[in-house]
Structures are given as structure tokens and as C-alpha cells.
Amino acid sequence: MTTNDLIKLSTQTRANIIRSTTAAGSGHLTSSMSSVELITGLMFGGAFHADIKKPEYPNNDRLIFSKGHASPLLYSAYAAAGALPAAKLGQLRSFGSPLEGHPMPKFRYTEAPTGSLGQGLGIGVGEALAAKIGRLTYRTYVLLGDGEMAEGSVWEALEIAAYYQLDTLVGIIDLNGLGQSGSTMLGHDASRMAKRVGSFGWKTIIVDGHDLDKVMAAYDAAKKVRGKPVMIIAKTIKGKGVRLVEGKEGWHGRVLDKVLAAQALKDLEPIDEKIRGVVSVPEKRQPFVPTKKAAKAMKYGIGDLVAPRSAIGHALIRLAPTFPKLVVLDGEVKNSTDTENFQKKFPKRFIEGFIAEQNLVSMASGLAARGLLPVFATFAAFLTRAFDQLRMNQYAGTHQVYIGTHAGVHIGQDGASQMGLQDIAMFRTLKHSTILYPADAVSAEALTEKALQGTRIVYLRATRAALPVLYKPTQRFVIGGSHTWRTSKNDAATIVAAGVTLHEALKAADVLAKKKIAVRVIDLYSIKPLDIATLKLAARQTKQLIVVEDHYPEGGMGEAVRSALGKDAGCVTSLAVRKTPHSGKPEELLAYESIDAAAIVQTVLSRT
């Protein structure tokens, strides 16, 4: 399209931003106005290639609004493309509308849910890596606000993108100099921003963000760069196009009333309401996917000493041919999570993200958005560092698997800093999440397969130490299930355990049996969803449930069981980590926290 066409489209887009935000009575008018030429020039100036009628087409260029508060611009741009009736822009921020205050998947052109700043570039890294893995030619563009450049997660993304030489990744910083409550850190100093970004290995291009010819020239130049990602640093004016608010503080998150909106629209005239933007078509390509093959059977013997974390690592290798879209991500702990052998076996399906958990979770979101199945393995404790990214990922609705090893005090001498003790609580809060907690190698491999077959966010909690194999390889496991190890008509109590505490529960049951006290033992390997029917039956028949977990009580298994039992929750006794943990032998720490076999026996005896 000609420059004159793009100017008309920019004017139309500005008008629609004003109309939609005024109709909504809220929104981010000024942040949207500053990026208009950047997005108009990208989408309709020839740089962006996509089938607008098929946003899911694999080789479409991708556009991520990391500055998600500029959603009125996103919606108005797609209205300009003819993908959305302009009349529907009046539904911005209204209940039930896909045009939410920040981009969500209900709007079919949303690449990933954004709005919590600092995450979009990491998602873009994941999408650019997906292009490499799938042998596709699409480019990934990420619109960033200059305010979010203060977020550490952005710089995690910057360094890993340069490390992988992602030359199909283009960042666009809207350098308007104003944040929500005042000036941004660097203001309009584009040179300093360029030096900082460039020092991470990116090609930087400084441009006047309101000059369409220069904006399009920047996109053309970005396409010619090889071997490194590109960051376009665009000097802009916040609120550009509305003289009343241009470059002024105090207007972030504020909109024009009807009188001021009418004046602003008059200032924009003439407004061509009929012109539509033309988006270039993408190259016709489908992603490369390895041939699917059947997995070999697992082989373990009862009593074999195997660490569940090692069994999960082995399962990923064994199951990789059956799940050809599987890719494994590592936070530079692959020799502890036992995913290093996956890297050796499938190097092109392994991504080393180094010690940058926030960015790795964002990368997983980007990979999943492009149809891959990301599995990110790290210490359970370190995943808590990326809770905000997980919180946003839950809204994507995509399938992502997280493996948390070194769970609980049972890890021993490493001490409290390495102990995952909040991870169950964290993942329980995520909508539609699944939490699985194997107790031995067989359940670890079987539940890994269930995790890969699952939907949305799945968390697999893994014990560090070697534990004896309890199950036969033919044992069946299901999401939402459990396994009852001991049961009789005379059970005095039910011990509910998972992971390492199942072994302690079985030891306790043996001790109690010698005292002529029968107890039921349930392996609650599926913590979310729970096997509510089995738990309720146990509550009715044995009158008391003792839930034993290597996790803090807040948000853990005990609370999950109480919640599931409802009116019968009073029969639940919780044995959990209640003291401040420290270094020691695993058995010492289990005893110290009163979650070992001896503590279970004492608890049962005190209640019978």
C-alpha cells in the first residue's frame, strides 16, 4: 500500500481508538495512540505476511502485544484489516465481549494473553524457536512498551534470543518516554536504550515512530539482518493525534469524555472510514513434525531403587517418538533433573534456557501457542520464581507440562533454599491445572505419559532420591485417580499420602499391623483433580483421614482433601512441613517435620 494509504489507515485507526475507549469509559487511549504508525506500517506496509482469514495458519507472521494495555490499537488494526466489523469496537471492555481490556484468546488474533508487563518478548522467543524447530519461515514481531523494559524478564529474553541467533524475531520498543505515573527510566533517550539492547547481541535500529516511510524502511532493514535478532527503537509521543493529551503526564489509563472525543475526532478529519488495509500473504508451508512411532514398554522390578526424577527423564526419551511435538526445556539443571540424556538423544528437540525461569515459562507459552508440546523441567522451588508467567499462561488454554524435581524436605543436605514446599499450592491455584505426584519409577513413567496426554497446564512433582519400586509396570494410572494399597473392613484410619510419604505410610501400616491395628493406605498420586469418591468412601468407613505430605500445609494436599470432603472435612488430620527446614539427612528431616513413619504411627495410636 502507498504511504498515503497508510496515513489514511493510521487516521482511521486513531479515530476508532478514540471511539472505542470513550464508549467503554475506560482503557489506555494514549498508549495505543503512540504505536499507531508502528502497527499500521507493519501490518499494511508489506513487512507482515499472514492469511487474515486463517489466523491459525502455521506460517503466518506472528504479532505479540507485550504492552497489552494497548489492546484498543490491536482491535482497531484488525478492524482496519477487515477482520473485525468497526461497529464491534464499541464493545470494548464490555462483559462477554472478546475485546477485553488486555488481549485474551477470546479475540482470535491474540497470539498470547498479555498485560502483565515484561512477558511478551519471552513468548516471542518461544514462537521464533518454534519456527526453527518446524522449519517455517514466519517472522515474530513483539510490541514492547518502554516502561516494561525495567522488567528483568525482558532482559532474560534479550540474552537468550541473541544466544540462539533468532534473526526472525523483531522487537519494537514504543519509546514514548512516559509510564503510568511519570517518566520512564530513560525517557526519550533512544541512544542509551540502543546501547543497552545492543550490548546483549541485538541489531538495533532507531527510528521516528510516527514517520511511516522511516518505519517501513526499518522493517525492511530488519529483514536483511542475519544471525541476530533486531530491536526497532521508535521515538514516539504518548497520545499522538490528540492535542489535548499529547506527551502529557496523568493520562495513562484515562479516556476522553464524549465532548472531548468529538473534538479530537474533528481534529483528525478527514477520516476515510471505507479504506481497508491489505496484509501480504504468507509463504505456503506446513511445519515439519517427526514421524510418530510407538513407545517401548517400561521395565522395572519390584524393589528396584530408582529416583522418580530419573524415571521421568527416562520416560521423556521413551515417549518422545510417540509425541513428535514434544520439546524439552531446561534451566541449566539438566544433570539434576535427568533430562541431559534427552538432550543427547534428541538435540533438536531440547532447548537450554539457562538460569532464567521466568523467561523459560514465557518461552513455553510461545512454543505451545505454535502447536508444540513444551516440557520444562527444573527444581520445584525455582518454578515459584515464575508464578506470574504461569498465572498468565493459564489463560492461554494451551498444553504445557512442568516438572518440579527436588520436592520437599526429603532432598536433605542442600537445605531450605532448594526445597520445593509451596509448589503444590501454587499450581493448585491455576485454573484447569493438573497436578500429579508419583511415588516410584513405574508411577513416574506412567504419570509422565498422562501429563503428555493431558490438556492445559500439567505439573509433575518429582522426588530427588532413589526410592524402591512399588508398582508393577502393568499398573493403571489415570488423571483424577488414586491407588488403595491397604484396605480391610476393620480399618481404624486411612493414611493418605503421595510421593515419598507413601513409602512412610506403608512402613507405618506394617508397624501398626504388628500391633493388630489395620489402616487403609491411599496413594493420592493425582492431587488435582482428586479421586473424591475414594476419599469420601474412606471418610465414611474409617472415620478419620491422616494426610501426610512433604509440603507446607497451606495450599497442600491436606487442604485439598478437606475442601473435597466438605461437611466431612473435620475427620482430616494434616501432617505436613510446619517447622523451618534446614540441612540434614532425608530421614532426619522427615522425622524433624513429623511426616515419617514413626510420626504416622504415633498419630494413629493417639486417635484409636
With contact defined as beta carbons under 8 Å apart, do 129 and 162 qualify? Answer: no
Quick one: average pLDDT of 73-96?
97
Report how far residue 171's alpha carbon sits from residue 219's, in angstroms, rounded to the nearest whole number.
Answer: 10
Is it the case that residue 522 has pLDDT exceeding 90? yes
- Quick one: pLDDT at residue 379? 97
- Quick one: pLDDT at residue 472? 97
In a domain, 191, yes or no: yes
Length of the chain: 608
Report how far residue 266's alpha carbon sits from residue 263's, in angstroms, rounded to the nearest whole number.
Answer: 5
For residue 608, name the pLDDT band (cuts at 50, 70, 90): confident
- Quick one: pLDDT at residue 119? 98
Quick one: 420 and 498 in the same domain? Answer: no
- Quick one: pLDDT at residue 318? 98
For the CA atoms of the chain, what is the radius of gyration?
A: 27
State which of 408, 443, 468 marks the end of a domain.
Answer: 468
To the query of whether residue 127 is one of the catalytic residues in this protein, the response is no
> pLDDT tens digit string along 6-61?
999 999 999 999 999 999 999 999 999 999 999 999 999 999 999 999 999 999 99
In a domain, 284, yes or no: no
Q: Write the CATH number for 146.
A: 3.40.50.970
- Quick one: pLDDT at residue 422? 97
Q: Write the CATH number for 552.
A: 3.40.50.920
- Quick one: pLDDT at residue 289? 92
Hey, what's the torsion of the CAs at 450, 452, 458, 464, to 10 degrees?
A: 80
For residue 1, name the pLDDT band (cuts at 50, 70, 90): confident
Quick one: 223 and 170 in the same domain? Answer: yes
With contact defined as beta carbons under 8 Å apart, do 124 and 168 qualify? Answer: no
Quick one: 454 and 593 in the same domain? Answer: no
State which of 268, 292, 325 marks the end of a domain.
Answer: 268
Quick one: 547 and 502 in the same domain? Answer: yes
Reported pTM? 0.96
In a domain, 78, yes or no: yes
With contact defined as beta carbons under 8 Å apart, do 191 and 157 qualify? Answer: no
With contact defined as beta carbons under 8 Å apart, do 19 and 30 qualify? Answer: no
In a domain, 285, yes or no: no
Is it the case that residue 607 has pLDDT exceeding 90? no
In a domain, 409, yes or no: yes
In a domain, 286, yes or no: no
> pLDDT tens digit string along 127-156?
999 999 999 999 999 999 999 999 999 999
State which of 218, 248, 268 marks the end of a domain.
Answer: 268
Residue 533 CB: number of other CB atoms within 10 A? Answer: 11
Quick one: 35 and 156 in the same domain? Answer: yes
For residue 512, name the pLDDT band (cuts at 50, 70, 90): very high
Quick one: 446 and 309 in the same domain? Answer: yes
Quick one: 461 and 490 in the same domain? Answer: no
> pLDDT tens digit string along 264-286?
999 999 999 999 999 999 999 99
Mark out the alpha helices in 353-403 (DSSP H runs). Answer: 357-369, 380-383, 387-393
Quick one: average pLDDT of 343-361?
97
Q: Pick the catalytic residue from 100, 156, 357, 445.
A: 357
**Could you tell me what percent of the chain has a pLDDT over 70?**
100
Closest CA to 491 of 452, 522, 469: 522
Quick one: 344 and 257 in the same domain? Answer: no
- Quick one: pLDDT at residue 40? 98
Quick one: 460 and 493 in the same domain? Answer: no
- Quick one: pLDDT at residue 240? 97
Quick one: 488 and 455 in the same domain? Answer: no
Is it the case that residue 371 has pLDDT exceeding 90? yes
Quick one: average pLDDT of 489-513?
97
3-class state of residue 534 by DSSP = helix
Quick one: average pLDDT of 517-532?
98
CA 65, 67, 68, 69 torsion: positive or negative?
A: negative
Q: Which residues are 582's β-sheet partners?
A: none
312 is in which domain, residue-wise? 305-468
In a domain, 531, yes or no: yes
Mean residue pLDDT of the chain comes to 97
- Quick one: pLDDT at residue 537? 96
> pLDDT tens digit string along 452-479?
999 999 999 999 999 999 999 999 999 9
Is it the case that residue 382 has pLDDT exceeding 90? yes
> pLDDT tens digit string along 162-212?
999 999 999 999 999 999 998 999 999 999 999 999 999 999 999 999 999
Is it the case that residue 439 has pLDDT exceeding 90? yes
Residue 299 CB: number of other CB atoms within 10 A? Answer: 10
In a domain, 474, yes or no: no
Q: Which residues are 458's β-sheet partners?
A: 401, 434
State which H helix or E strand residue 169 sits in: strand 169-175
Closest CA to 464 of 510, 504, 418: 418
Total count of domains within the chain: 3
> pLDDT tens digit string along 203-248?
999 999 999 999 999 999 999 999 999 999 999 999 999 999 999 9
> pLDDT tens digit string along 537-581?
999 999 999 999 999 999 999 999 999 999 989 999 999 999 999
With contact defined as beta carbons under 8 Å apart, do 456 and 434 qualify? Answer: yes
Quick one: 522 and 430 in the same domain? Answer: no
Quick one: 531 and 588 in the same domain? Answer: yes
- Quick one: pLDDT at residue 77? 98
